[in-house]
Chain A
Amino acid sequence: MEPVAGEDLARFRAYRDSPTPEGRNGLVSAHLGLARSLARRFVGRGEPLDDLEQVAFEGLVKAVERFDPDRGSSFAAFAVPTVVGEIKRHFRDHTWATKVPRGAKELSTRITASTEALSKQLHRTPTVAELAEALGVSDDVVIEALEARAAYRPGSLSAPVDREDGRTLGDSLPIDDTGYAGVEARLTVEGLLATLPDRERRILELRYYEELSQDQIAKQVGISQMHVSRLLRRVSDVLAASTYDGVP
């Protein structure tokens, strides 16, 4: 992050002394990169990047309005807690409090159903990427849901099976390492990504890392949504086949 230059502090002083919409907008525009950078840090928590950037921009506006250039700290040092606080509030008010517990349970159920369906279709268990594609979510969301499944195991797993040492049924079961296996698959896929042509690799990155919709990818790459869909499917098939054929 670039340190705030004296000229920038002078602009903040000018805005503090004479607050105008133009002055505020100029300062906000000058620091949009900071807000975008912070928003990207919170991708993968179930909210689209566009929404996160919007919230970050709102936080940035508040930071611009509240920043005192004579208190000795840089604007960035002041703005980060303000913007991150705004993003966390957004999650708390709009996502975590209402969507996640129910969503995690629903997703866990859908993962179980999709795993069964894809296993029959593929004659092997699906990769995390395949589950993510089938469910319309990111790889990370699937991995999280796999990890979260442990939280929804029936209470009977806590019942003691050994009265002497207090071991429970849950203790005696193998550790549910599905999520770790999923990560291994993802790391393998990342190695395979390097073997793809630039455009296909870019499309996959836009879909799974930046979590853009197929429509958004189509606009960005300059092809139709249907074409994006076909490319994603084809590339996923190639990667999956390579993974299971042991191709590095």
Chain B
Amino acid sequence: MTALAASGPVTLTIPVDPVFIRLARLVATGFASQMAATVADLDDVRTVVDELCSLLLAQSGPGDQITITLTADDGVLRATAAAPSRRPWEPDELSEGIVRVLADDYRVDQVDGHVELVVAKSVELPS
């Protein structure tokens, strides 16, 4: 497979339901695999997306949706996970800690009743 220098955006919207997190993980790893990411990075991307969705699940309510947007640019994968914010942002410290360790950059944006979790991760491309 040829590594893609830039790609996306790929957008996935899922109901706020833990059963769909697996789908989000799969799409994210599939996207990262299009960048020819290594197995290690694929695993990290999978875990990061899992934690992002878990963080938003705790923040949302029934009927809400989580939208995940993936882009790739110059070996950096960026993922944005957004959902309505039904309560003050009180993230799970463990989940955020894992995201911070596995991603290169992580930030939380709160706009108009929505919370957006944005991560960037450099993907090691096999030589």
- Number of B residues, CB within 8 Å of A: 26
B30 beta carbon closer than 8 Å to chain A: yes
B127 beta carbon closer than 8 Å to chain A: no
| Distance A38 CA – B100 CA, assembled complex (angstroms) | 13
| Distance A84 CA – B47 CA, assembled complex (angstroms) | 12
B98 beta carbon closer than 8 Å to chain A: yes
Contact with A along B91-124 (1 / 0, CB 8 A): 0111001101110000000000000000000000
Partner of A151, one of B1, B43, B97, B100: B1
- The answer to whether A81 and B26 touch across the interface, beta carbons within 8 angstroms, is no
The verdict on A183 contacting B39 (CB below 8 Å), with A76-B97, A80-B97 known, is: no
Contacts of A1 in B (CB 8 A): 92-94
B56 beta carbon closer than 8 Å to chain A: no
**A71 shortest CB reach to chain B, Å:** 16
Tell me the residues in window 15-53 of chain A with beta carbons closer than 8 Å to chain B beta carbons: 34, 37-38, 41-42, 45
Partner of B2, one of A96, A158, A179, A186: A158
**B23 shortest CB reach to chain A, Å:** 7
A100 beta carbon closer than 8 Å to chain B: yes
Contacts of B98 in A (CB 8 A): 38, 41, 80, 84
A106 beta carbon closer than 8 Å to chain B: no
Question: Which chain B residue lies CB-closest to A103?
Answer: B39
Partner of B26, one of A42, A148, A180: A180
Question: Which chain A residue lies CB-closest to B47?
Answer: A41
- The answer to whether A34 and B94 touch across the interface, beta carbons within 8 angstroms, is yes
Q: Which of under 10, 10 to 19, 20 to 34, or 35 or more describes the interface residues of A?
A: 35 or more
- The answer to whether B94 and A37 touch across the interface, beta carbons within 8 angstroms, is yes
- The answer to whether B2 and A150 touch across the interface, beta carbons within 8 angstroms, is no
| Distance A80 CA – B96 CA, assembled complex (angstroms) | 9
Contacts of B42 in A (CB 8 A): 144
Partner of A104, one of B36, B39, B94, B101: B39
Looking at B23, B39, B51, B92, the one whose CB has the most chain A CB atoms below 10 A away is B39
Question: Which chain A residue lies CB-closest to B100?
Answer: A81
- The answer to whether A183 and B47 touch across the interface, beta carbons within 8 angstroms, is no
| Distance A158 CA – B42 CA, assembled complex (angstroms) | 23
B86 beta carbon closer than 8 Å to chain A: no
Contact with A along B1-19 (1 / 0, CB 8 A): 1100000000000000001
Contacts of A148 in B (CB 8 A): 33, 39
Contacts of A34 in B (CB 8 A): 94
Looking at B2, B93, B97, the one whose CB has the most chain A CB atoms below 10 A away is B97
- Listed A/B pairs (24) with beta-carbon separation below 8 Å: A3-B93, A34-B94, A38-B94, A38-B98, A41-B47, A41-B51, A74-B93, A76-B93, A80-B94, A81-B101, A96-B40, A100-B40, A143-B26, A144-B29, A147-B33, A148-B39, A150-B1, A150-B33, A151-B36, A153-B1, A179-B30, A180-B26, A187-B19, A187-B22
Contacts from A to B (Cβ < 8 Å):
1, 3, 34, 37-38, 41-42, 45, 74, 76-77, 80-81, 84-85, 88, 91-92, 96, 100-101, 104, 143-144, 147-148, 150-151, 153, 158, 179-180, 183, 186-187, 190
Contacts from B to A (Cβ < 8 Å):
1-2, 19, 22-23, 26, 29-30, 33, 36, 38-40, 42-43, 47, 50-51, 92-94, 97-98, 100-102
The 4 closest A-B pairs by CB, nearest first: A80-B97, A84-B101, A1-B94, A1-B93
